[in-house]
Amino acid sequence: MENRLVKTNCRWYVGDRPCMPHKKEGVVCEGCPHEEPVQRRILIVKLAAAGDVLRTTAVLEPLRKANPGAHITWLTAPPAVPLLRSNDAIDRVLKLDAGTVTVLATESFDLVCGLDLDAPSTSVTEYARAPEKRGYGRTERGAVRPFDEAGETWLQMSL
């Protein structure tokens, strides 16, 4: 059953606690001037070292420009979570753990970007549900596989 007073398709909707505009200004969903309907859901999977994760945040500005109205979730390793939490270009930061795998089993995205070649990253990217994927996934036989031409080029360079 859908609650019509709560805008679950808003970029600011969190689900288990009040959203940021409510916390800052006390606004409620109905008539909220900050409502931003989500047009596209994007998952970025970047689990590498914290410095590498921080450097990769450079993709956020062009990603937002190319996808107005996007809700961006960033999945990363626990040590990198504090580096991403205060980034306004990221709507939700998830740390890789068993609970997150459960979340990924229930949610779907429009685009998943797997930006690492290691087994956990490519496996999670492969597992995540989305009609469009970029970067790298993993075959059933354990090989890294690129999802697109750009991924193929970078994979060849890295090998």
Q: What is the DSSP string of 16-44?
A: SS--HHHHHH---STT-TT--B--EEEEE
| Whether the Cβ atoms of residue 121 and residue 136 lie closer than 8 Å to each other | yes
CA distances (Å), 111 to each of 2, 28, 40, 71, in order? 25, 30, 8, 11
Prediction pTM value: 0.89
Residue 52 and residue 74 in one domain: yes
| Whether the Cβ atoms of residue 123 and residue 143 lie closer than 8 Å to each other | no
What domain range includes position 7?
1-37
For residue 152, the domain's CATH number is 3.40.50.2000
Residue 27 and residue 53 in one domain: no
Running along the chain, 159 residues long, what does each successive block of 10 average in pLDDT? 74 87 88 90 94 94 95 96 94 94 94 95 96 96 94 86
If DSSP codes are grouped into helix, strand and coil, which group holds residue 83? helix
What was the pLDDT predicted at 1?
A: 47
Residue 22 and residue 68 in one domain: no
